[in-house]
Structure 1
Amino acid sequence: MQKKLTWTLLTLLCVSMLAVAASAAPTTELHIAKIASDGVTVINETTVDYRWMEENLPVLGDGVTHYYHQGPVFEGDKWDPLETTNFKDRGAVKGTDIRDLAELVGGAEPGDEIMVRAADGYHVEFTYQNVYEPDSRQGPMGICWYNGAETGAGERQGTGYVPDYYTGMRLVFFADNSTNEEGLHVYGNWDMHETLPESAQHFYDLYPSTGGLTVKWVDEIRVYTDGFTGERGALAGSLNTPEGTTEPAETPLSLVVTLTAALGAAALHARRGA
């Protein structure tokens, strides 16, 4: 009886993990919507995929130049103004400016905010100024659908177009190299301090980290007229419109193999103990 219960629990665990993985996988299209000041009414919306974006809108990045964010700095000045440590290489990415995407549904005006939402519901919001008039040390904000080079360390990202670029589509800041002594394109923690309002800054516990702004698996851009009034950094559901729904992302093959092996091992264990 106990072994049967163990097998049942393992099965349920694996099924649950597969369900989570279905939303934690590469995205290939974006739903873009402009929301009225009531925070609910959709004024205009459209859906585009990465192929359409590359062919019809200006492209950020060249697929060769690497762009970096910065993780938390635990020793010394946590803001690390000289950008000396814990760089997060987001790859040699190419993508589409959020500004150009917002324009597809009527654009934004001062006082509006633009949300970038991931397939799992996590979201971040930025002001009109940061999207439409970014400081060069911040750079344009791009939704990236191509990575030309694997970083070789840290997070594995995949190369090529999504879904082979399996952390895409991803938000990346295309910062210039004016504040980095090595000439790297880094959107550092002090850059964030100087260019983003406090409401949009990201912290790991009490430590600033621009790495936390690079949302993975982006599937939606929303323009909120007069600003976003919901809970920031929380999970947000889809807008539940026919144009806004996307096909479920495929579960990564490596996870399927791992879970299949786990189920097989559990089955073997159950048989041996029968």
Structure 2
Amino acid sequence: MMDLHAEIRRILLALLCVSILVIGAVSAAPTTELRIVKIGADGVTILNETTVDYRWMEENLPVLGDGVTHYYHQGPVFEGDKWDPNETTNFKDRGAVKGTNIRDLAELVGGAGPGDEIMVKAVDGYHVEFPYENVYEPDPRQGPIGVCWYNGGDPEVGERQGTGYVPDYYTGMRLVFFADNSTNPEGLHVYGNWDMHETLPDAAQHFYDGLYPSTSGLTVKWVDEIRVYTGGYQGEKGALAGSLTTPAGTAAEPTEAPLSLLVTVLAVAGAAILCARRGGA
């Protein structure tokens, strides 16, 4: 009997692992539309919201990027000066992207003002926040912050993140800083780690493993929400963001595995247990 119980536990554990992987794969997928929300000073009340897709954004709002020029972020630097002010290593090519300024998206729900923060959130809950000034009055070395829905046809970069419009651009929609080329000795459009040091407040900077500055960590992929927090975001930085509830009391639809998938997993689990019991009889 003990062997039977052990076998059942092994089967259930394996099915649980498979379920987690499948559900994660379903949740982590390219996004094609954005929910944009303005939230009151209490951090809860929704003042205004709308939802737009990438087609509407391209047709109705100014477009960042030309689909030819590549934009880069910088990963962590482990040797020498971790800030690498001369921008010499570990560039992350985010592609020849086109996208929409999050400032223009915020304006769709009433905009932001000094003291407000704008959150960019992914489908898995990962999020980053930026002060009003960095969104509305960016230093050129930082550039506008955009949500990108197109990546130009570069074969090398395309192999890693997909080309064309989302969902073929399968790391989109993605957050990218449209930095100028004023600080890069090769004339590349790089938002480097030292650029982050000089343009973003400490609370908005990203550090790999908590130690090494990395602007690459700011380039959130699979973006599905833009939130404007009146008076600033009061939640925990770096924690996963939860869903919001509309004023009518209807919860925002979470990204989750289809019911049919869960039913299938449970059915397989039941069949496996039955087989194990028959085998142990």
Matched, 1:231 2:233: no
**CA RMSD in angstroms, aligned pairs only:** 2.5
TM-score by length of 2: 0.85
Structural mapping, 1:215-254, within 5 Å:
215-241=220-246, 245=252, 248=255
Residue from 11, 14, 20 that aligns with 2:18? 14
Q: Assess if the C-alpha contact under 8 Å between 2:50 and 2:109 holds in 1.
A: yes
User: Which of residues 186, 191, 195 is equivalent to 2:195?
Assistant: 191
Q: Is the 8 Å Cα contact of residues 150 and 157 (structure 1) preserved in structure 2? A: no
Gaps of at least 5 residues in structure 1 are 257-262
> Taking structure 1 as reference, are residues 124 and 209 closer, same or farther at Cα in structure 2, changes over 3 Å only?
same
Q: After the TM superposition, which residues 94-105 of structure 1 pair with which residues of structure 2 at under 5 Å, given as runs?
A: 94-105=98-109
The secondary structure found in structure 2 opposite 1:156 is helix
Structure 1 match to 2:35: 31
In the alignment, which residue of structure 2 is the partner of 1:136?
140
How many angstroms apart in 2 are the aligned matches of 1:49 and 1:21? 22
Identical-pair percentage: 75
- Give the structure 2 partner of residue 213 of structure 1: 218
Contact 2:151–2:163, Cα closer than 8 Å, also in 1: yes
> 1:168-193: per-residue Cα shift (whole Å, max 9, x none)?
11100000001111111000000000
The corresponding residue for 2:81 is 77
Normalised by the length of structure 1, the TM-score is: 0.87
Shift of 1:244: 7.7
Q: Contact conserved, 1:68 with 1:90, CA < 8 A, in 2?
A: yes
| Pairwise CA distance, 1:245 | 3.6
Larger radius of gyration: 2
Query: 1:16 offset after TM fit, Å?
Result: 1.5
Return the alpha-carbon distance in structure 1 between the equivalents of residues 200 and 116 of structure 2. 15
Tell me the number of residue pairs that the alignment of Structure 1 and Structure 2 aligns: 258
Report the Cα distance in structure 1 between the residues aligned to 2:122 and 2:132, rounded to whole angstroms.
Answer: 20
Equivalent residue letter for 1:212: G
Give the partner amino acid of 1:97: N
